[in-house]
Amino acid sequence: MGARSSQTVDPVVSRRYSSESESEAVLVVRRRPQMVNGGGFVVSNSKQQVVFRVDGCGVLGTKGKLLLRNGDGDDILLIRKMGGMVQALNIVHKKWEGFGFDNGGTERLLFTLKDPRDSCLVPQNSSIRILVHDKPKKISSTRNICNNNYVEIKGSFAERDCDIIGSDGRAIAQVRIEKEMEEMVGNKKDLYNVIVKAKVDQAFIVGVIAILDYIHGESTIC
């Protein structure tokens, strides 16, 4: 079952961040206090090793910009909110874009998420669609996209109860809060789990979580 569901999405950021194991990975997200070190959050694995860090406005000093680093501190994903005067008047046109970096440091568009702020806060009906772009030579045309080009988010991130769904309709990741964890920290937003299915790109999943965090006005926003 784990191996089967892991094929719903090819690596988006890098195969390096896709577990070779047939078991799902349980990542722990811990928010950083904005007053101490600028906010954002860190992500640890089952061995309590930091595998990702997300910096937002409090660290970068720029609204609508997020940076995902790996455990070694290398920049692996730049996320920007796109919008202007026209877009500000039409919420449908607001979007987030995630960029990876090639060997020369050049940015490459990896995925696009429309800002759902007018509807995603309704837990029962929330569904956010993400367009995953193909390799570099094809991203200029919306027709040239990979077969598994859409990923959806269903549920309530605010309640830490949502699923990230692959193109075949199965969950590739889940955001959950354990009761023991909530009792320990007292606030479900400070410490929660992201369960990533086997061989799914964990960096991509954390990048999506970073956008949801910002949209909901949490640790990555000013």
Reading the chain (222 residues) residue by residue, the pLDDT tens digits are 344 444 445 789 998 999 877 889 999 999 998 887 899 999 999 999 999 999 999 999 999 999 999 999 999 999 999 875 444 444 445 789 999 988 877 899 999 998 765 443 334 445 688 888 765 433 333 333 334 477 899 999 999 999 999 888 889 999 999 877 666 666 678 899 999 999 899 999 999 999 999 999 999 998
* Ramachandran bin of 213, using left for φ above 0, alpha for ψ from -120 to 50, beta for the remaining angles: alpha
CA 24 – CA 95 distance, rounded (Å):
30
In a domain, 220, yes or no: no
Beta strands in 71-200 (DSSP E): 75-82, 95-101, 107-114, 127-132, 150-156, 161-165, 171-176, 191-196
Residue span of the structural domain in which 150 resides = 2-215
CA 27 – CA 195 distance, rounded (Å):
6
Q: Residue 89's domain is classified under what CATH number? A: 2.40.160.200
What is the CB neighbour count within 10 angstroms for residue 73? 8
In a domain, 79, yes or no: yes
Collapse the DSSP code of 53 into the 3-class scheme (helix H, G, I; strand E, B; otherwise coil) and give the result. strand
Residues 191 and 4: beta-carbon distance below 8 Å: no
Count structural domains, the chain: 1
CA 143 – CA 183 distance, rounded (Å):
48
In a domain, 221, yes or no: no
